[in-house]
Structure 1
Amino acid sequence: MSPRSEQTNRELRRSSQERILTAALEVFAEQGYENATISQITERAGVSRGLVSYYFATKQDLLRAILGRWLDGLLTMLDDLAPDGPPNDLLATVIDRALLGASTQLGTQRLVLCLMLQPGTRGVYAQVERDRAEAMRAFEDRLRDIFAARGAADPAVEEALLRSLLEGVLFKLAVYEQGYPLDAIRSRLFALYGLGEPAPLPLPADVFAESGRLRAPLG
């Protein structure tokens, strides 16, 4: 039997790390970070304890990797936006990417939110943010530039407000699942910023709920 190629080895390593991180995220969210054990994670991932230790020396390393990967996904969301594009088009793209990303990765979003709200994880998340200070500043500045181009009196306040609105939507979507009227909320956000009627977005069918009363699903 011929030896595996380096590419095959890389793919196997990537697959193993993905299984471990997915299992850790689930266990941390279900058991609480402080109560979760490496043994629970290895059992959920279907790998040996030695393999987990090989990639992640401590439970905190696992937490740091999970939160870092999630934050990196957010911070790179604007990387390919045209620097001199029409500001309204850019703002519409930001809103749509945030909503589409949340709705298509709802399970992960929900688990990360559960994890971030636990008292024992706050310090690690703060360090993850500090480790990405330059990328976070670039992300914030990109949003502020869009609002400045739209003529905002205080682009920094507008950037903070937009992020608060979107993060609130993502939180409600994670809690209320199929009962949250995401498509209608998207139209309202477009109207709020004077972006016109949005073109259809390929949102999952189960997020096109009627605008009614929010209630958490049973079970």
Structure 2
Amino acid sequence: MRRRSRERLLEAAAELFGERGYEATTLGDIAERAGAARGLVSYYFPGKRQLLQSAVHRRMHLTLAAALEREPAPCADAAGGRELLARAIDAILGLAARRPVLMRAHMAHLLQQEGFVQCAEQQRLAALLRETMVRYGAADPDTDYRMLRALLMGAVVAVLLPGAPMPGHRLRAELFARYGLEWELGCPPGGEPPGGVLMSSGEGAHP
């Protein structure tokens, strides 16, 4: 019951932060959306910033897990770990595109002095990214998953940058080139990659 109560609060927080933004959402609003007592929010979370990060990390690891567990397309069977890495990249970029208000608030708070909130949701996300790099064949998964996380964070910031956003398909192309991933892996946005050239599996910086 405690786990379900906490999950309801996290889901309500993700919904409201994504609808109204961080400043316009109160802890009372979140408790009401979750159908919980206001005091329960403070019982589980020290403050609104911690709740935001936990809610977004939960949304990220659920989105990533769903992408990694999806049945592979016939053309992806032989790609193995490259397909999983492509799905991971597309899952995070896709979340930024679908939930810009939520992800912009999250990134803004990560860049504040307090930085990451170490919570169970963040640890689950880290474990999924690390396992993806293991399956991809990374020589040093502990270091390489952190690099992947940093590159994904940079791409999300670029997609969401007010006034000067980068097109998601261009960022996807850069990340795919870095890891030697074929454009058709994962969930391609449609059509040919920028420049009209598909990479072969031997191109890029495969470890």
What range describes the TM-score normalised by the shorter chain of this pair? 0.5 to 0.7
Q: Distance in 2 between matches of 1:196 and 1:20?
A: 34
- Unmatched 5+ residue regions in structure 1? 1-9, 29-39, 203-207, 209-219
Aligned mate of 2:22, from 3, 26, 37: 26
The reply to whether residue 126 of structure 1 matches residue 117 of structure 2 is yes
The reply to whether residue 107 of structure 1 matches residue 101 of structure 2 is yes
Q: Distance in 1 between matches of 2:15 and 2:140?
A: 44
**Alignment map for 1:84-163 (pairs within 5 Å):** 86-119=80-113, 121-122=114-115, 125-128=116-119, 131-132=120-121, 135-136=124-125, 138-148=127-137, 152-163=138-149
The alpha-carbon distance between structure 1 residues 62 and 21, as it changes in their structure 2 partners (threshold 3 A), is farther
TM-score, normalised via structure 1 length: 0.58
The alpha-carbon distance between structure 1 residues 97 and 43, as it changes in their structure 2 partners (threshold 3 A), is closer
The reply to whether residue 201 of structure 1 matches residue 192 of structure 2 is no
The reply to whether residue 57 of structure 1 matches residue 42 of structure 2 is yes
| Conservation of the 8 A alpha-carbon contact between 1:78 and 1:94 | yes
Q: Distance in 2 between matches of 1:173 and 1:19?
A: 19
| Conservation of the 8 A alpha-carbon contact between 1:20 and 1:41 | no
The alpha-carbon distance between structure 1 residues 185 and 19, as it changes in their structure 2 partners (threshold 3 A), is closer
Q: Distance in 1 between matches of 2:122 and 2:104?
A: 25
Q: How many residues align?
A: 168
Q: Distance in 2 between matches of 1:168 and 1:73?
A: 18
Aligned mate of 1:186, from 148, 172, 181: 172
| Conservation of the 8 A alpha-carbon contact between 1:144 and 1:158 | yes
Q: Distance in 1 between matches of 2:169 and 2:126?
A: 30
The reply to whether residue 169 of structure 1 matches residue 155 of structure 2 is yes
Residue 55 of structure 1 and its aligned partner are, at CA, apart by: 4.0
- Determine helix, strand or coil for the equivalent of 2:160: helix
Q: Distance in 2 between matches of 1:133 and 1:114?
A: 16
TM-score, normalised via structure 2 length: 0.61
Q: Distance in 1 between matches of 2:171 and 2:159?
A: 11
Give RMSD over aligned pairs: 4.1
| Conservation of the 8 A alpha-carbon contact between 2:57 and 2:125 | no
The alpha-carbon distance between structure 1 residues 173 and 147, as it changes in their structure 2 partners (threshold 3 A), is same
| Conservation of the 8 A alpha-carbon contact between 1:26 and 1:111 | yes
Deviations 1:156-203 (CA, angstroms, capped at 9, x unpaired):
33222222111111112222466312212212222222222336427x
Deviations 1:55-112 (CA, angstroms, capped at 9, x unpaired):
4338833332221111112233443425996111111111111111111111111111
